[in-house]
Amino acid sequence: MPPTVTVSDSTAPQPEPTLPQAADLERLRGGLRIIAMRALGDADVAEEAVQETLTRALVALAAGRLDDSAKLAAYVAGIARHVCLHWLRDRKDTVPLDESDGPTSTARHPQLQTQFDPLEALISAAESERLRVAFRSLPAADQRLLRLCFHEDRSSAEVAAALGEPSDRVRKRKSRALDRLRRAFLGSESHETAKGGTDSVAPPMLNDRKTGSDNG
């Protein structure tokens, strides 16, 4: 039987590189929402910024401005940062600091009023509740470990020192505890097989957020 020889015919028409489509952009929406929410602190404004970003990205893609489709995410993230920056700079009307013709109490500018971590608005009530239950079910020692990491923002070395345990053991305990919380956060699905992910982000729980600072 003669050997099979494959010959590459350079004159044959090559398949066109597939350009990113609207559906590829749509998959980035969840991540874009995080960027916009973190930068702008307001769910409605962030949603507008995400929409503006996707529109600009679509126009840019149609005009062939992206050479390498592997860089789509970074390209669109850059557009999102640009959109957010412009939005923030355009809010000059919120800062009459140089005017002396009236009070400028911060409470009079609700557009960007954020008292809590803006990213919390991206967590649905169900996710939050599952996380709360899972956190409370952890052993007290693991709760303390996670508090040191996430609430007090201590470094791994500082956490190990505070707990008087070797860094390796602390890292493993943290990893195990986070696995449990991650599974709870995502429902019954494991992290690797989760579907929907950021695209399945529930509408922002605006009613859960305290946007004022009424201290009574």
Residue (59 or 150) nearer to other proteins, CB: 150
Q: What are the residues whose beta carbons fall under 8 Å from the beta carbon of 202, sequence distance 6 or more?
A: 124, 125, 126, 127
- Shortest approach of other proteins to residue 15 CB, angstroms? 23
**How far is residue 41's CA from residue 38's CA, in Å, rounded to a whole number?**
6
* Least gap, CB of 21 to other proteins (angstroms): 15
Structure tokens at 61: 């893609």
45: number of CA atoms within 13 Å, CB side? 22
Q: How many CB atoms lie within 10 A of CB 103?
A: 7
For residue 26, which of 49, 57, 48 has the smallest C-alpha distance?
57
The nearer residue to other proteins, 44 or 117, going by C-beta atoms, is: 117
Q: What's the min distance (Å) between Cβ of 66 and other proteins?
A: 13
Whose Cβ is closer to other proteins: residue 15's or residue 118's? Answer: 118
Q: Which is nearer to other proteins, 72 or 160 (CB)?
A: 72
